[in-house]
Structure 1
Amino acid sequence: MAFKRKLADSYLPQKEQGFLGQGHIARTLVGRDFKLSDPFIYLMDDNIDKTDYIPVGGPHPHAGFETVSLLVDGKIVEQTESMEKGDFQIMTAGSGIVHTETIDKPTKGRLFQLWLTLPKENRWAEPRLQILNADKVPVSEKDGVGIRLYSGSLAGISSPVLNYVPLIVAEINLGAGKSTTLDLPANFNAFIVVINGNVEIGEEKQLLTAEQVGWLNHSDEDSVSELQLNAGKEDVRLILYAGKPQDEPIVSQGPFIADKADQIQKLYRDFRYGKMNHIAASPKQQIITY
């Protein structure tokens, strides 16, 4: 019998003032003890409603992990890295990279940006950018259940993006009163972010409401688990994240992730002395658009 997924924890993240000024409201969706959230380090929910032409943001470095970005709604207009609703990107910071997030004109959008660990053997991989635009995202539509699959394999469809850490990212839309049961690897750590509507999880029909984050139970077994989702009297839209834990400790400081503290200091030195290239200057084979 397949392992049955159910809610193990849920919470409502609080809104905070974001670093991009008055028009930026942020919520920390994931920021718990990494031993519990592995392979997920952080996940920020950035709501941006910029109405002026004053530049905010700017170039900054990353190393030792991957950023996984999904534009949930709207359009983010940046100088070099604009995104529209449904666009998905994975940037492998790896050995160290600089990227620019400068917004200098009115823009409105909601961005989920995840920090995903890298396996120890790939911690310092050559930087890479993968771009999966909204019109290229694999889609499944059946019996009132819609799935947009950004990463991994789910419900008979597969994303083309390449993963160092096995990762499923999917937007799931359930019509009012509709339900679905999805197969997930039982040993993947997984959580759900509800965008709107209320969804019942598992055979116990545990309720997860709009804007809540719900973590699912998981098993150590390398087998298949079942996730049952039921919509109530209104449509449901949610994002599912599931990834394989790496069981390797990390050190986090500022924009860097490493295995040891002294590696963090080296990364700061490399950045200060200009040893990190901009992602836009990466070799052509390291910038992949699907």
Structure 2
Amino acid sequence: MSAAACISSFPPPPMAAAAAPAPETTIDVFVVANHTPVTAAADKSSCEGDVVAGGGRTVRRPRAVARTLECERRVVGEGFAVRRGIGRKELDSLDPFISLDEFEFSPPAGFHDHPHRGFENVTYMLEGGFSYHDFSGHKGTINTGDVQWMTAGRGVVHAEMPGGHGVQRGINLWINLSSKDKMVEPRYQELASHDIPAAERDGVSVKVIAGEALGARSPLQTRTPALCLDVAMRPGARLRAPVPPGWSACSYVIDGEAVFGDEAAAAGAHTCVVFGGGGDGVAARATERSAARFLLVAARPHGEAVVKDGPFVMNTREEVEQARDDYRNRRNGFEMAAGWSSDHVATAAAAH
């Protein structure tokens, strides 16, 4: 899916009756090394009201909010609209995140055969679905609540089209690969909604797309160590989630409103909240008048130069030009594109 164009149906829990302040839920287990979940050492001096899952550490210094960006809906083509959190003028990137979009599209919009190299492409469907087909023969449809984690690596050519009638809506996230991983073999990992690990505690429900939280661990393996959570909170519920030192972190509010860090104002739907680098985790609470649902993503930055141009994300301009040349000449990772076209192209041609 194009970054320029381009979670589980997980409705907020029922409204809670007015009562004493909700206890604070602490998500305490996270991925700190590639592919390897690690439990933090127990901190028995937890904050009053905390619920400490699995005996892990308590977040004692929540990160401050560095900036809040409202994501306006922009129509970028017939049948296609996007709300951009990362990859815009105000926030070009958030190492290692290249882009974060909430998208919606409907037939006949779609993404016909196109290449990628150098990053991981994550698509998490909120509503509807999309069908895909790549040059290796991998094809199918992901539906509401499903996730596809595609490592483009040295090269993928594919097409993505609406998986049904009406509006299809989801989240698309591009995560940069380090220089040592940019030319790895491509890989697809997919989880159906019912296979995404989930946990609930004191008004906070979490679906663990990547990483680990509240004792629930995602089976997805990520080239860049990352945490990706779909969080739903009842009105007044509170959450603290550890984030490893040095990792970049942000939230995207899908529905409702939530207060992050020590901010006075709540962030409403379609808002991207970027956290500063200090502190040992992220704090959030739903307001008393509204439930909240948001995506929390965090990952270890690469600290490398980034050159992105269309479907290619590399370290230098020369590498981008090499990627374009490789695709044009169907070599060095793009060999299978020679003479190939997706089912979507064939269907479109037959229709005309």
TM over 0.5: yes
Shift of 1:36: 5.8
**Kept after mapping to 1: 8 A contact 2:102/2:172:** yes
- 2:315 corresponding residue in structure 1: 259
State yes or no: 1:149 paired with 2:149: no
- The number of residues matched between the two structures is 270
Please tell me whether the aligned partners of residues 30 and 40 of structure 1 are also in contact (alpha carbons under 8 angstroms): yes
Partners of 2:93 and 2:101 lie apart in 1 by: 17
Q: 1:137 to 1:193 in 2, by over 3 A?
A: same
Amino acid at match of 1:256: F
2:103 match: secondary structure? strand
SS at match of 1:271: helix
**Contact 1:192 1:238 (C-alpha < 8 Å) held by counterparts:** yes
SS of 1:268's partner is: helix
Higher strand share: 1
Judge conservation of contact 1:59–1:102 (CA < 8 Å) in 2: no
Shift of 1:24: 1.4
Higher Cα Rg: structure 1 or 2? 2
1:13 is the counterpart of 2:68: no
Question: What root-mean-square deviation, in Å, do the aligned CA atoms of Structure 1 and Structure 2 show?
Answer: 2.3
- Maintained 8 Å contact 1:76/1:108: no
Letter in 2 for 1:68: V
- For residue 190 of structure 1, the aligned residue among 222, 228, 249 is 249
Native 8 Å contact 1:174 1:235 kept in 2: yes
- CA-to-partner distance for each residue in 1:82-136, whole Å, 9 max, x for gaps? 2212111111111111111134862422121111111111111111111111111
Residue aligning to 1:100: 159
Task: Map Cα deviations across residues 14-47 of structure 1 (whole Å, 9 max, x no partner).
Answer: 221134x2x2111221115888610001122211
Among 118, 130, 133, the alignment partner of 1:64 is: 118
Q: Which residue pairs with 1:82 in the alignment? A: 141
User: Pick from 309, 326, 330: which aligns with 1:274?
Assistant: 330
Report what 2:105 is aligned to.
48
Q: Give 2:299's aligned residue.
A: 243
Quick check: 1:8–1:217 contact (8 Å CA) kept in 2?
Answer: yes
For the residues of structure 1 that align with 2:148 and 2:216, how far apart are their CA atoms?
19
Q: In structure 2, what is the Cα distance between the partners aligned to 1:111 and 1:8?
A: 25
Q: 1:204/1:60 Cα in 2 relative to 1: closer, same or farther (>3 Å)? A: closer
C-alpha distance in structure 2 between counterparts of 1:72 and 1:111, whole Å: 5
Any gaps of 5 or more consecutive residues in structure 1? 282-290
- Identical-pair percentage: 26
What is the TM-score with the length of structure 1 in the denominator?
A: 0.85
**2 CA distance for matches of 1:35 and 1:44?**
13
Q: Deviations over 1:214-258 (max 9, x none)?
A: 101123xxxx71322111111111111111111011111111111
Distance in structure 2 (CA, Å) of the matches to 1:185 and 1:206: 26
Contact 2:124 2:170 (C-alpha < 8 Å) held by counterparts: yes
Q: Which moved more, 1:164-173 or 1:194-203?
A: 194-203
Alignment of 1:193-212 (within 5 A): 193-212=252-271
Please, which runs of 5 or more residues in structure 2 have no aligned partner? 1-58, 134-138, 341-352
**Contact 1:250 1:258 (8 Å CA) reproduced:** yes
Q: Does 1:122 align with 2:181?
A: yes
Distance 1:184 1:36 in 2: 19
Q: Letter of the aligned partner of 2:260 in structure 1?
A: I
